[in-house]
Amino acid sequence: MMNNGTQLSTTDKYKGLEVISKTEEWLDRLRRRAGFYLAPLAFGVVFLLTRGRLTPDGCRLSAVLACVIVLWLTESIPLPVTAMLGTCLCIGLGIADARTTLAPFADPIIFLFIGGFILAQAMMIHRLDRRFALAILSLRWANGNQARLLAAFGGITAVASMWVSNSAATAMMMPIALGILRAIEDMRLTNHDLSKISGKLPKGSFSTGMMLMVAFSASVGGISTPIGTPTNLIGIGLIKKLTGMDINFFQWMTIGMPLCTVMYGVLFALLYRLHREKTPGNTDFSHAQLQQYLRKERTSLGGWTQGQINTLIAFGVAVSLWITPGLLAIVLGKEHTLFKLVSENLHEGMVALIAACILFILPTDRRQGKFTLTWQEAVQIDWGTILLMGGGMSLGGLLFSTGVAAAIGEGITNFTGAQSLWGLTAVSIALAIIVSETTSNVASSNMVIPVVIALAGAANVNPIPPALGACLGASYGFMLPVSTPPNTIVYGTGLVSIPKMVRAGFIFDLCGFSIIWLYLRLLCPLMGWG
């Protein structure tokens, strides 16, 4: 019989839990406490620096944004509370009225989150995510070690994101990723005879890497097609409106597909390097071990239950409706009446709610009046993440309406003094990435693209490369949970800490800047745009 100390150490080792030293624990406490002092200090400093340089509303908003960013980075108070605090400050300081400030909390994208989370809840309750996970683990090319799992799952997510929004792709794949992690954890515990309890999530480095792969690969995959992310459509529309250049579906894929491939390769190398398990055998396992485990788990799951079938139906309806506009665009063209009708009326948020409603309609036992999901089960979703996204969208909208974003863009451009074509392109990419870290990607593209097109016109250079750079750079918002919806979704799992998201996101932002600039530098002259 092992003593308690030895048993705890061994169990923690095989659960994949990270060992936190006393120094790291002290630094974490220091970081959280520092936020209470740094946040009001940042508010006052930014307010004084911007006074007289921005409009009164812009000055106050800049101070609020600085305060909120400090609190988000230090996590002194819960992130959803910080988002609500920022919203309350905007109303209390008279930056905007309550109706305007709170409207983003009822934005259609919020209902995409709600519906997606309810769908994920049903998948978990009926263990459909586990059945999907076992199916993916059964693929010979995807099993055996953490590298292949990470690469395969990220690739599937990126491909899905080419045809549905980044948010929808993440909402679809995140519960499946959680199922894979639970399966690996159960197999590891069983192999070492430490526990027979299933359903636990390993809070280790590989789990963090898997979650970040889901979020980041969704954003990377969205670059590939015009319908992959709203920023692409916004960029195409603004370029056509402001320059007269019409980039069609095929031309965009010519730009996006190779870029996505390169970015995904870099992303996999980065996340595998940062988040592979250091302990031998922690997530690597032999094919024979895996097959033995899979046989056991399939027996444990048994046959398909009515709840799993119903959940799969709802999931299939959601996926089918999410990809319908994209398929119609390919087959009929974006100018076709049917495509316009569907794209205008079949919003992703509505699709998510339709799928969620199906769960409450399809019965599992008609005689007893039991349905696939009960309201008591549905309300267990992460409402804090939804509040966090609503607050981020609110601040992003005000950043645009008060002119703060435009002032930031012009100030950075004037500071750099960039006047050449590729100098302006570099500035536009960097500016879009920076703005995307503090507001939504959609807001970033709306704010930055018109500014860089105007600057290119003033410098008498071709506006297409800077505009494309801003559009592609707007998809790079990887450092914070509020930077982009996929980040928010995976942060809600509790497996990704703020410091680790910032670390991986910062490095990938730097890689993305270099890749986009070099890619456009090579491509645009070939396309006659440089």
Each residue's pLDDT tens digit, 424-482: 899 889 988 987 886 667 767 777 887 788 777 777 888 899 999 999 998 887 888 87
Please provide residue 365's backbone torsions phi and psi, each rounded to the nearest 5 degrees: -150, 100
Query: How high is the mean pLDDT of the chain?
Result: 80
DSSP state of 20: P
Q: CA dihedral defined by 69, 70, 74, 75, rounded to 10 degrees?
A: -50
Q: Residue 87 — very low, low, confident or very high, per pLDDT cuts 50/70/90?
A: very high
Mean pLDDT within 226-230: 76
Q: What pLDDT does 310 receive?
A: 94
Q: Is residue 163 within 8 Å of residue 253, measured between CB atoms?
A: no
CA distance 439 to 451: 17
372 vs 171, residue with greater confidence: 372
Sequence-separated (6 or more) residues with CB below 8 Å from residue 431: 408, 409, 412, 413, 448, 451, 452, 470, 473
Helix (H), strand (E), coil (C) string for 182-214: HHHHHHHHHHCCCCCCCCCCCCCHHHHHHHHHH
Query: For residue 195, which of 19, 16, 14 has the smallest C-alpha distance?
Result: 14
pLDDT, tens only, 315-352: 889 888 877 877 787 788 777 888 888 877 887 778 88
Query: For residue 350, which of 138, 142, 168 has the smallest C-alpha distance?
Result: 168
Over 60: is that where the pLDDT of 228 sits?
yes
Radius of gyration of the chain (CA): 24
Q: Is residue 41 within 8 Å of residue 69, measured between CB atoms?
A: no
Q: Is residue 274 within 8 Å of residue 503, measured between CB atoms?
A: yes
Beta-bridge mates of residue 365: 370
Domain ranges of the chain: 107-126+305-380
Q: What pLDDT does 196 receive?
A: 46
Q: What pLDDT does 202 receive?
A: 57
Beta-bridge mates of residue 370: 365
Over 90: is that where the pLDDT of 360 sits?
yes
pLDDT, tens only, 255-291: 899 999 999 999 999 999 988 765 544 445 555 555 6
DSSP state of 17: P
Q: Which of 122-126, 138-142, 517-521 has the highest mean pLDDT?
A: 517-521
Q: What pLDDT does 8 receive?
A: 30
Q: Tokens 């027979």 map to which residue?
A: 196
Burial of residue 97 (CB within 10 Å: 0-12, 13-18, 19+) is exposed
